Chain A
Amino acid sequence: MGKAARRLIVVIYLLALVVVPVALVFWNALKDGLGPVIEALTDPVVVHALQLTLIASLVSVVLNAVFGVGVSVLLVRYEFPGKRALNALIDLPLSVSPVVVGLSLVIVYNVRDGWFGAPLASLGIQVLFSLPGIILATTFISMPLVVREVVPVLQEQGTDQEQAARSLGAGGWTTFRRVTLPGIRWGVIYGVVLCFARSIGEFGAVKIVSGNLTGKTQTATLAVEQLYQNFNQAQAFTIAAVLAGAAIIIISVVAALRVRVERRGA
């Protein structure tokens, strides 16, 4: 088979699977002009859903960046019993269906008999059907992304530079801040960007945990589904276009970063 033919197959495959459907989202959103789009984007329900997604995603990304880097350092730089188990556990959110994750959170955090839910409820903290639950589900789902990006970068960096910093008088924290972190920063940024992209698109786990209350605990993806099923197509496509647009921007950033990281590696 010729080179041109192989290329054509790949292009058709990508067009059919990705480009056309995504393009149609934008086309559908804009087919009646900007009027319905502006109308949708000023609807308090839509605005609330987008805000909720943004807040939940940002908090998740911060949590996962901090814990992701911490866990990565633990996995790469330290030896301890149970390390392999921890390593495998980190990948769990990638392999388990988000719906299952949502259900398991409901079991643990429900107010009636949840192991964590009941004690928290007596302290006046409600996790399910509110923002903490949404953040929890989003964070759980996107947890492995930072770790999986940072671990190989840390391994490649080695311990020489850290030891040199120690011998020059730097303590543990200073060494981390001035030597380790700058060395892995592109890996961290790359992981954070992927984590953010995954977070804004989360649907299954959040749907179960949030209760999907319109204007209260309904995130952008949940709103798209509900509006579409209620024949509110203009609004549904507008939110979908916003989410798709955000994803495209993020992917462009990732692509640009990848070039930088690879150039540095060379």
Chain B
Amino acid sequence: MSIVVSNVTKRFGSFVALDDVSLEIPAGRLTALLGPSGGGKSTLLRVIAGLETADSGTVNIEGTEATNLPPQKRNVGFVFQHYAAFKHMTVARNIAFGLEIRKRPRAEIDARVDELLKLVHLSQFADRLPSQLSGGQRQRMALARALAVEPSVLLLDEPFGALDAQVRKELRQWLRRLHDEVHVTTVFVTHDQEEALEVADDIVVINGGRVEQAGTPDEIYDAPASEFVMRFLGPTTHFEGHVVRPHDLDVFSIAVRDSVKAEVTEVQRVGHEVRLSAKPDSASDLTTVSLTRAHFRDLEVGEGDTVWLRLAQGASQIATEAAR
């Protein structure tokens, strides 16, 4: 284990940001802390970095008891949502900062900075000031700056949160490839489930100051531990007293075994998919089903028609709070 967090609690006044959180983060992997805003994930990352002190509990990094170490002694690289670029220094000086603090020889610093500039594709911008870079370039610079000191863990706090959608997608794939090259234990905070599912080796879902579930993306998606996790990772609907995914429901125009009769109340076309709202005879709630356009055409049904719904094989489902 690279990072071991044990029973950490952190309060801001009467607000409990972290409630007795324990967590182990394996070495050499890319882990996402996923959850809604205000759920405590950034606070947890900052506690690991030493930028916040926990009220109780311990943090161990690479076998070193780090709970009472100041941030500058923890050897962690930290990347901030808003880059935190040193505005008065050039890109190269920004990246060299940590090495200069460590009083490495000039030749070694220059060589390392060159190498990192290449790694983050900013070689031609070495002498620019951060204000002359785009958001994506600034964040790549910040990443190189954090990597320069060869940290034992790399922590990224909503690293792509301030970027527009297109750059965001490019950068997260780039982060994945970078991690495959560099292999440093990396933890990043995000509220975007797609980002977590696409990039991370492991996902830790955090909500209300607690860990809801930890596991691989497949485990989290296929076997959510709670209704919250299920809802947070994608669209859900109600069916037969369970929370299920709208694409995990099969729709038939004739009665089949184990199916439920329902009346179509609304048909909505969204890009490549069609969303049917249907009211099962047995329930008061509407069920939403998502279909491909081709499948919908084959069904030949419209609003007011009768259909039969059945849960697909292997679908994840969780009993609703009310049913339990």
Contacts and interface: CB of A to CB of B under 8 A. Distances in A.
Contacts of A119: none
Interface residues of A, number: 17
Interface stretch (A94-102, A143-151, A169-177, A248-256): A169-177
B157 to A, nearest CB: 10
Contact of A179 (B50, B86, B146): B86
B263 to A, nearest CB: 55
Given A171-B72, A182-B88, A165 B97 contact: yes
Interface residues of B, number: 28
B187 to A, nearest CB: 13
Given A169-B149, A179-B86, A182-B88, A163 B101 contact: no
A170 B101 contact: yes
Contact of B98 (A160, A169, A182, A185): A169
B146 A167 contact: yes
A163 B87 contact: no
Contacts of A170: 72, 97, 101
Nearest to B78: A167
A98 to B, nearest CB: 37
B215 interface: no
A92 interface: no
Interface string A46-79: 0000000000000000000000000000000000
B296 interface: no
A34 interface: no
B80 interface: yes
A189 to B, nearest CB: 14
A64 to B, nearest CB: 24
Nearest to A175: B72
A87 interface: no
B51 A167 contact: yes
Please name the 9 residue pairs, one residue from A and one from B, whose CB atoms are nearest each other, closest first. A160-B84, A168-B98, A167-B78, A164-B84, A166-B71, A169-B101, A182-B88, A169-B72, A167-B71
Interface of A: 160-161, 163-171, 174, 178-179, 182-183, 185
Interface of B: 49-51, 70-72, 74-78, 80, 82-88, 97-98, 101-102, 142, 145-146, 148-149
